[in-house]
Amino acid sequence: MKKITIDDLNLKGKRVLVRVDFNVPIENGKVADDTRIRESLPTIRKIIESGGKAILISHLGRPKGFDEKYSLKPIAEHLSKLLGISVKFTPDCIGEEVRKMVSELKEGEVLLLENVRFHPEEEKNDENFAKELASIADVYINDAFGSAHRAHASTEGVARFVKETAIGYLMKKEIEYLSKALTNPEKPYVAILGGAKVSDKIQVIKNLMDKVDAFLIGGGMANTFLKAKGYEVGKSLVENDKIELAKEILSEAEKRNIKFILPVDCVIASEFSNNANFEITSVDKVKPDWMILDIGPKTIETFKDVLKDAKTVVWNGPMGVFEFDNFAKGTFEIAKVLAEITSKGAVTIVGGGDSASAISKAGLSDKVSHVSTGGGASLEFLEGKELPGISAIKDK
């Protein structure tokens, strides 16, 4: 790891500002899914144990100005329970009250600041706002992988005005796993790509083209490739303006001798609904007024066959409309295979927001090597882009 990490710094007595990703679903004033909060606990506990003063900052949702609906207060309560200590909460993230509470903060205590996006300056990466945030910190730690692809004041700007910067444990884990998918992956290396649109994944395909041994393509994006190969895809989700590009990708893969495996059969439905009539059919027999909503059993077997020997797998994008039970099988079966090969020593990495919820719905999140907490961030990482929230942290 070339970035300075939390382990490299002396935190005793220091005011440690931590950018966490507490952008979690809140229902009826309670945290509905606390995965991201729990993932940040190692970093928070480390600061407490080191005698640092933890000041946590995060966004929640997309508020326009102050809005009670997007308050982080329920998170302070939830976090208090998880940590077993009372987490203090400030009604804003800058200003007099914040400075006062920070100055009264004792070693080993935790303070959560109110939603940073209540200030439009956050997303503008306003320099003065970043300086304000920096003024309450001796150390800045970025542990918000899910926001690392955004150059905002609390993820990027602030780092320029705090002397000591580091990444936290969650950020470190994310970088370590996702890097395995890009540098020196153990072979055979297989990328499973799916999800809605090929246009969302083009850069990922291009970036992985010279790294993987095989691509397994499912989900809505497979339709565009099938159409490019001349198949009827009926009313399926398809991007007609990406057909040419799909052809180029197919021929590029062939030229490089990389397996680019498309579905051979699929589950077609009469309409986009869980209650639709559905049938399994080979890809050359898709009915003109039906749509492909999942990969079929033969495709699942083909994919399994490729995956069983894989040593590294990266998965981005569900194989079908897994939100509908009738079309979740392809996605869940692939999740099962990943769990199996993980238990035999393969490194399996899941990126993408919907892919993460799919594997969670399958109950297999802890059976794969790593499920990224950042949908957009993991995608940009796999595209080979530099993430501003990571770049802002000093190297060792």
Among 51, 74, 234, 353, binds Mg ion (CB under 5 A): 353
Comparing CB distances to ligand ADP, the nearer of 168 and 220 is 220
**Contact of 265 with 220, CB cutoff 8 Å:** no
Min dist CB 321 to Mg ion, Å, is 12
Distance, in Å, from the CA atom of 306 to the CA atom of 391, rounded to the nearest integer, reads 36
Catalytic residue among 14, 36, 46, 227: 36
Site pattern 167..196 for Mg ion (x: CB under 5 A): ------------------------------
- The answer to whether 36 is a known catalytic residue is yes
84 is an annotated ligand-binding site residue: no
160 is an annotated ligand-binding site residue: no
Residues contacting ligand ADP: total by CB under 6 A:
20
- The answer to whether 230 is a known catalytic residue is no
The strand pair at 214-217 and 259-261 is best described as parallel
Min dist CB 353 to Mg ion, Å, is 4
Distance, in Å, from the CA atom of 344 to the CA atom of 301, rounded to the nearest integer, reads 19
129 is an annotated ligand-binding site residue: no
- The residue with tokens 């153990």 is 186
- Which of ligand ADP, Mg ion, none does residue 293 bind (CB under 5 to 8 Å by kind)? ligand ADP
Comparing CB distances to Mg ion, the nearer of 136 and 181 is 181
Structure tokens at 291: 């749509």
Catalytic residue among 99, 336, 353, 394: 353
Comparing CB distances to ligand ADP, the nearer of 314 and 393 is 314
SS (H, E, C) the chain: CCECEHHHCCCCCCEEEEECCCCCCEECCEECCCHHHHHCHHHHHHHHHCCCEEEEECCCCCCCCCCHHHCCHHHHHHHHHHHCCCCEEECCCCCHHHHHHHHHCCCCCEEEECCHHHCCHHHHCCHHHHHHHHCCCCEEEECCHHHCCCCCCCCCHHHHHCCEEEECHHHHHHHHHHHHCCCCCCCCEEEEECCCCHHHCHHHHHHHCCCCCEEEECHHHHHHHHHHCCCCCCCCCCCHHHHHHHHHHHHHHHHCCCEEECCCEEEEECCCCCCCCEEEEEHHHCCCCCEEEEECHHHHHHHHHHHCCCCEEEEECCCCCCCCHHHCHHHHHHHHHHHHHHHCCCEEEEECHHHHHHHHHCCCHHHCCEECCCHHHHHHHHCCCCCHHHHCCCEC
109 is an annotated ligand-binding site residue: no
- The answer to whether 376 is a known catalytic residue is yes
Q: What distances in angstroms separate CA 202 from CA 238, 295, 310, one per listed residue?
A: 14, 20, 23
Site pattern 299..338 for ligand ADP (x: CB under 6 A): -----------------xxx-xx-x---------------
Site pattern 339..378 for ligand ADP (x: CB under 6 A): -------------xxxx-------------------x---
- Which of Mg ion, ligand ADP, none does residue 310 bind (CB under 5 to 8 Å by kind)? none
Comparing CB distances to ligand ADP, the nearer of 44 and 362 is 362
- Which of Mg ion, ligand ADP, none does residue 388 bind (CB under 5 to 8 Å by kind)? none
- The interface region with Mg ion, picked from 32-40, 139-147, 182-190, 347-355 by CB under 5 A, is 347-355
Catalytic residue among 51, 99, 376, 394: 376
Among 123, 200, 340, 383, binds ligand ADP (CB under 6 A): 200
Q: Is residue 354 part of the contact set for Mg ion (CB under 5 A)?
A: yes
Site pattern 215..254 for ligand ADP (x: CB under 6 A): ----xx----------------x-----------------
**Contact of 132 with 94, CB cutoff 8 Å:** yes
- Which of ligand ADP, Mg ion, none does residue 216 bind (CB under 5 to 8 Å by kind)? none
223 is an annotated ligand-binding site residue: no
Comparing CB distances to ligand ADP, the nearer of 316 and 342 is 316
Q: Is residue 292 part of the contact set for ligand ADP (CB under 6 A)?
A: yes
Contacts of 255 (CB under 8 A, 6+ apart): none
Contacts with ligand ADP, residue ranges (CB under 6 A)? 194-196, 200, 219-220, 237, 292-293, 316-318, 320-321, 323, 352-355, 375
Query: Using CB under 5 A as the criterion, which residues of the chain lie in contact with Mg ion when the complex forms?
Result: 353-354
Give the catalytic positions in this structure: 36, 197, 353, 376
